């Protein structure tokens, strides 16, 4: 009995090594486990389920094979792939999760988030996030021709890179009070999230009790995953990406 968590793979055409590592991971680590949770920024960019690039199709069929073999596959949006829709999820045999979601992991209620909503010190980003997550705006964007959306995604990426260059490290991390607030709002002692690319297990206090915040790692130089199993302390693992 094991459940795995990954996030922030940022899959894209220019990094075939990461796609290869994912396909190996799905075969060698995820096959046979109860569930695989992907907590956002699985793809570097997403402009609609109708794009259907070879990379997207390969990843969808690998996830579908895993799901067909009996491992439940769950997907949460990140700040880069928040336009992933039900169409892709059904091709991948995946269930789309809200951010946040509380799941019961072998008797321990656990809050799952991508993590960007916890970075409240970045006021400018939170404003941008609210706009991007507006369903009416998303509907309007998804109706535009594919080429327009591709162009728009390139522009957004350039803007985001330029903006983040000038930002202090602490602004790009979660706000500690926000973590406590989230744990207390949901009445749970454990949070798992990605986004910050700072893999670690933090001990803290929430609801007057010890609590734990587990941060998943991004797949750039390493393959990172979290393993949760009954009766065991959750453990982050990594392997060099070759
Ligand atoms: Mn992110």
User: Quick one: pLDDT at residue 166?
Assistant: 73
Reference 34, options 1, 57, 76; nearest CA is 1
What's the gap in Å between 119 CA and the centre of ligand 1? Answer: 10
pLDDT attached to residue 159: 85
- 10 C-alpha vs ligand 1 centroid, how far in Å? 9
Predicted local confidence at residue 164, as pLDDT: 80
> What stretches in the chain show pLDDT beneath 50?
none
Q: Mark out the alpha helices in 82-203 (DSSP H runs).
A: 86-92, 123-132, 135-142, 146-165, 176-186
The pLDDT assigned to 50 comes to 96
- Domains of the chain plus CATH, in order, are 3-240 (3.60.21.10)
Calculate how far, in angstroms, residue 176's C-alpha sits from the geometric centre of ligand 1. 17
Position 64 scores a pLDDT of 98
Spacing, Cα 192 to ligand 1 middle (Å):
14
Half-sphere exposure of 86 (CA within 13 A, CB side): 0
Alpha carbon of 202 to ligand 1 centroid (Å): 19
Query: What is the 178 CA–ligand 1 centroid distance (Å)?
Result: 17
pLDDT at position 165, please?
Answer: 79
Asked whether the whole model's pTM tops 0.85, one would answer yes
Q: Do 241 and 222 form a contact (C-beta atoms < 8 A)?
A: yes
Instruction: Report the separation in Å between the CA atom of 193 and the middle of ligand 1, taken as the mean of its atom positions.
Output: 10
């Amino acid at each position: 009995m094991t459940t795995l968590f990954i996030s922030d793979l940022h899959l894209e055409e220019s990094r075939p090594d990461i796609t290869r590592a994912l396909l190996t991971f799905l075969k060698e680590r995820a096959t046979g486990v109860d569930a695989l949770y992907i907590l956002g920024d699985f793809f570097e960019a997403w402009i609609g389920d109708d794009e259907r690039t070879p990379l997207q199709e390969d990843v969808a069929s690998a996830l579908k094979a895993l799901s067909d073999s009996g491992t439940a596959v769950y997907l949460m949006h990140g700040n880069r792939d928040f336009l992933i829709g039900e169409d892709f999820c059904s091709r991948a045999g995946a269930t789309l999760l809200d951010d946040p979601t509380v799941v019961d992991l072998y008797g321990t209620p656990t809050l799952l988030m991508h993590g960007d909503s916890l970075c409240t010190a970045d006021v400018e980003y939170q404003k941008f996030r609210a706009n991007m997550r507006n369903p009416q705006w998303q509907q309007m964007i998804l109706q535009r021709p594919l080429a327009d959306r591709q162009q728009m995604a390139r522009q957004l990426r350039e803007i985001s890179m330029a903006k983040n260059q000038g930002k202090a490290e602490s602004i790009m991390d979660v706000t500690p009070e926000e973590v406590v607030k989230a744990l207390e709002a949901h009445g749970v002692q454990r949070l798992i999230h990605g986004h910050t690319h700072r893999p670690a297990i933090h001990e803290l206090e929430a609801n007057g009790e010890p609590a734990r915040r587990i941060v998943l790692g991004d797949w750039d130089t390493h393959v990172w995953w979290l393993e949760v199993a009954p009766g065991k302390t959750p453990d982050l693992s990594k392997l060099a990406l070759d």
